[in-house]
Amino acid sequence: MAQSIEKLNRIAIEPVTRVEGHGKVTLLLDDRNHVRQARFHIVEFRGFERFIQGRPYWEVPVIVQRLCGICPVSHHLAAAKAMDGIVGVDQLTPTAEKMRRLMHYGQILQSHALHFFHLCSPDILFGFDADPQIRNVIGVAAKHKDLAVQGVMLRKYGQEVIKRTAGKKIHGTGAIPGGINKNLSITERDELLKDLAQMKEWGLGALKLAKDYTVEHLDWLADFGSFPSNHLSIVREDGAMDLYHGRLRAIDAEGNKIFDQVAVPRYIDYIAEEVRPWSYMKFPFIKSLGAEKGWYRVGPLARVNTADFIDTPLAEEARREFMAVTDGKPNNITMAYHWARMIELVHCIEKIDELLHDGDLQGEDLVLKGERRPEAVAIVEAPRGTLFHHYKVDENDQVVMANLIVSTTSNNEPMNQAVRKVADQYLDGHQITEGLLNHIEVAIRAYDPCLSCATHALGRMPLLVQLFDSRGNLLDRKTR
């Protein structure tokens, strides 16, 4: 870290584009123009944790999903799972659990498709240095029409799954405390089955694209914004990847287990959050390792690394290929997130296939009730990573405490690490070059950060980059 900040040059990239929400990057340089400090700022604040206080517990799954329009289902389900605990239900009916899983897989499918096809593919199809006028989703639509259509259709399919399980494509009401409010009719099932084979084919195509790109550029990507780190996710009791339910597992950069099969309510004994004055995002860390070394990555890369196996054949085959690249050790390459994300996309399609052929989805037993409890914690693996929801509810049924640790928050320190690494590699003197901007954005984008989730912000601004000397004079300014 920089010792004497006032003597350093400062570069700001604001906002970072093609991520969900917006943030900015500042780089502090020393006299020899080496990056001494890199910060990925999240500058907005929404404060859902505060304003759901006083609301009744059954409202929470519907309110908190308004954090985001990209993966609201993750918040909807994490809150609903926590509220299962509040109403004393530990095991849902098969219909309720499977309907929620179907909703979740539809959600991850649409979110991963959006990210890969719309946000990431311009970088890997056109190269990081390509003209920003072309290196965007419109450019993809012009030059690779089939791929653009597949992206739109895969996303649409995921949204259709959500609509049939939650009632609406965005901000539905399906999951309620103790269960679900609808089953899947035969008509709805058949509508979804109709396009499934096509989705699988396109999903496998995207997986191949992500894999081939990573393997072809492996030597270069291995160093691009990459660093050893811990990885965290939930896994099933048998160690399988499970995106909806499981117990916590954390591994280090070599694959050694830091903890395993930790029951979700005990998360607070293992994870703490550090507050830093320059960002509204907190910095979570593994308590036993301390704030300095305990930060960890979450999301597709972490999940593929932590899982012992995936319980669907095509995704498992892909996972084995993925792990073979690093000889079975955890993959710490930032850009490998894209490959891991597409493994999960295929896994979701396989899971949807499995569920649509399960008669339990047409069951009538939807909601259970138990004995009210004052506190509950729930975790789901959201598209961007592990999502914690923790609530306390008083005897009048009103929420008195809420703590949400969202995926992008967990990836906060990793994104800062990636920015510092890339900036150091690509900063050329004290000029702001397109190349520098592009490479930093590509590294951040690999994490698919959702800034509206992390601090709960919305909006869009033109890109502004400013370079200051150590006395605060503006040396260079660039807008996009």
- Binding residues for another protein, rule: CB under 8 A, are 54, 56, 58-59, 61-63, 66, 87, 166-168, 171-174, 176-177, 181-182, 367, 396-398
Tell the burial category of 434 from Cβ atoms under 10 Å away from its Cβ (0-12, 13-18, 19+).
Answer: middle
Which tokens belong to 165?
């399980």
| CA-angle at 293, arms to 115 and 44, nearest 5° | 45
| 320/369 with CB nearer another protein | 369
| 167/290 with CB nearer another protein | 167
- Of 444, 425, 410, which is closest to residue 334 (Cα–Cα)? 444
Task: Provide the residue count of the chain.
Answer: 480
| Exposure on the CB side of residue 5, measured as CA atoms within 13 A | 9
Q: What is the smallest separation between the CB atom of 200 and another protein, expressed in angstroms?
A: 28
Q: What is the smallest separation between the CB atom of 105 and another protein, expressed in angstroms?
A: 19
| 46/171 with CB nearer another protein | 171
| 178/203 with CB nearer another protein | 178
- Of 446, 418, 464, 480, which is closest to residue 35 (Cα–Cα)? 418
Q: What is the smallest separation between the CB atom of 176 and another protein, expressed in angstroms?
A: 5
| 143/168 with CB nearer another protein | 168
Q: What is the smallest separation between the CB atom of 73 and another protein, expressed in angstroms?
A: 14
Q: What is the smallest separation between the CB atom of 71 and another protein, expressed in angstroms?
A: 17
Q: What is the smallest separation between the CB atom of 103 and another protein, expressed in angstroms?
A: 12
- Of 118, 198, 212, which is closest to residue 157 (Cα–Cα)? 198
Quick one: CA torsion of 51, 53, 59, 64, rounded to 10 degrees? Answer: 40
| 264/457 with CB nearer another protein | 457
Answer whether the bond into residue 94 is a cis peptide, omega within 30°: no
DSSP 320-362: HHHHHTTTTSPP--TTHHHHHHHHHHHHHHHHHHHHHT-GGGG
Q: What is the smallest separation between the CB atom of 265 and another protein, expressed in angstroms?
A: 23
Q: What is the smallest separation between the CB atom of 160 and another protein, expressed in angstroms?
A: 14
Q: Identify the bridge partners of residue 405 per DSSP, sorted by sequence position.
A: 388
| Inter-CA distances, 297 with 60, 213, 283, 285, Å | 27, 22, 11, 10
Q: Are 376 and 391 in contact (CB under 8 A)?
A: yes
| 77/336 with CB nearer another protein | 77
| 181/403 with CB nearer another protein | 181
Count of Cβ atoms closer than 10 Å to residue 4 Cβ? 9
Q: What is the smallest separation between the CB atom of 297 and another protein, expressed in angstroms?
A: 32
Which tokens belong to 24?
């900015």
The CA distance from 144 to 98, in Å, is 36
Q: What is the smallest separation between the CB atom of 234 and another protein, expressed in angstroms?
A: 26
- Of 108, 84, 53, which is closest to residue 264 (Cα–Cα)? 84
| 104/421 with CB nearer another protein | 104
DSSP 185-253: -HHHHHHHHHTHHHHHHHHHHHHHHHHHHHHHTHHHHTTTT----EEEEEE-TTSBB-SSS-EEEEE-T
| 318/378 with CB nearer another protein | 378
